[in-house]
Structure 1
Amino acid sequence: MDSLISTIAIWALPVLLAITLHEAAHGYVARHFGDPTADLAGRITLNPFKHIDPVGTILVPGAILTLSSLFGGGGVLFGWAKPVPVDFSRLRQPKADMLWVAAAGPFVNFVMAIGWAVLFKVALSTPHSVYTIPMMKMADAGIQINAVLMLLNLLPIPPLDGGRIAVSLLPHRLAWKYSRIEPYGFPILLVLLFTGVLGQLLWPMMAAFRVLLATLFGF
């Protein structure tokens, strides 16, 4: 039980920030390009309680952490917040601007991963204290959850951000055909998850990303 409480305490803040700021970034960029839908709904905010989805932000990550703590293993930790409402038709250039709106979430996760890497380096470089190990563990958790969300969302499967980026970049005819995959995107993702294919796709990319951060920051 102590191990479970410790695990949740370490992961709670990184997970909450990674998921909610990802969604807020979509709304902010959408407003910049002409769609005020998220702004009018009060979703362009750093207040995490505006973005929390009881299942995706709390239940699913909590269950994964609990199972990992009790039984061990290295499952892919992921989750989601309440999707920020975006009306792509209200963007000034819907097809072109869709790229920037979609890319905003993964980009924020990339920036947060860098921030957590800086914190890890600071903890590693300061004199050892009672806070050193917890700080390093939280920073490591922040790197991991942001790497997962960044790389997962960049998979070219609509309605993931990578799928929307692909639709934005493809010629109109191909983009229209590709966008028709969207209703099947979540089932496809679940199949990839439960067959283990998702982990096989993500872990090598995560390992490469962590090596890159370790090389840049010297830890």
Structure 2
Amino acid sequence: MEGFFRFSLEELPFIIISLVVAFTIHEWAHAYTAYKCGDSTAKNQGRLTFNPASHIDPLGALLILIVGFGWARPVPVDRRNFKRPHLYGILVSAAGPVSNLFIAFLTYLLLFILDSSSLMPMSGKGAEFVSSLLSTMLHLNIVLFLFNLLPFPPLDGYRILEDLAPENIRSKMMRYESFGAVLFLLIVLTPLDQYVIYPIFDAGVPFVVNTLYDIISPLFI
């Protein structure tokens, strides 16, 4: 059974909890930002909620556990309701990855608090469980932050790039979007990810961790 999953059985509880939290808040952030920008489509479809059942795609979540790649239920957005479609489109697209970065910040902060016995006295298995969960949540949310900013459809980074592009380039991007999505799947589901995706994570994750450390650590000196 353990060999069926990408993660060990010991890791699975932490991965599942972290995924549920990360996906739920990520999609809620999209829905909330769209609503504040004038589009109530997601709200009307029950997506402006912290209920994981509204955001988790069972197949997408299962594939993450099996192959390390999956998805949540996309939030519906009607850009025609935006007074400034491109600016508000960027804000809505960026809200998801930014929410993951915010979760990473909070979990790293909690790890610092946990390590400070005077602030949060805890020891034994309870401390070990909380520490493992927070560490997993920290790493996973940084990965989701970086991954969703990749400039491939249908990721948030591509949507941001599309809204930033001049009209003539944007029309070409929309025309070839389906081919870009196929290319993206070929990259993440084949050994090509070792040359395209993983180098980004290898450089990006330590950079984000170190940046968060530089922000948080002075608070505990």
Question: What is the CA deviation profile of residues 68-102 of structure 1, one whole-angstrom value per residue up to 9, with x for unaligned ones?
Answer: xxxxxxxxx45321111111222222222110010
Q: Distance in 1 between matches of 2:163 and 2:39?
A: 17
User: How many Å apart are 1:151 and its aligned residue?
Assistant: 0.6
Q: Distance in 1 between matches of 2:214 and 2:70?
A: 28
Alpha carbons 1:24, 1:46 under 8 Å: kept: yes
Matched, 1:130 2:125: yes
Alpha carbons 1:60, 1:79 under 8 Å: kept: yes
Matched, 1:167 2:162: yes
Output the aligned Cα RMSD: 2.1
Bigger Cα displacement from structure 2, 28-37 vs 2-11 = 2-11
Cα–Cα, structure 1 residues 18 and 79, in superposed 2: closer, same or farther, change >3 Å? farther
Q: Distance in 1 between matches of 2:153 and 2:208?
A: 23
Matched, 1:29 2:38: no
User: How many Å apart are 1:4 and its aligned residue?
Assistant: 4.0
Alpha carbons 1:78, 1:148 under 8 Å: kept: no
In the alignment, structure 1 segments of 5+ residues that lack a partner are 65-76
Matched, 1:49 2:44: no
Equivalent residue number for residue 74 of structure 1: none
Aligned counterpart for 1:101 among listed residues 72, 92, 106: 92
Equivalent residue number for residue 71 of structure 2: 80
Alpha carbons 2:47, 2:55 under 8 Å: kept: yes
Q: Percent identity?
A: 33
User: How many Å apart are 1:191 and its aligned residue?
Assistant: 2.1
Equivalent residue number for residue 214 of structure 1: 213
Q: Distance in 1 between matches of 2:206 and 2:176?
A: 29
User: How many Å apart are 1:140 and its aligned residue?
Assistant: 1.0
In the alignment, structure 2 segments of 5+ residues that lack a partner are none
Q: Scaled by the length of structure 1, what TM-score is found?
A: 0.85
Alpha carbons 1:78, 1:145 under 8 Å: kept: no
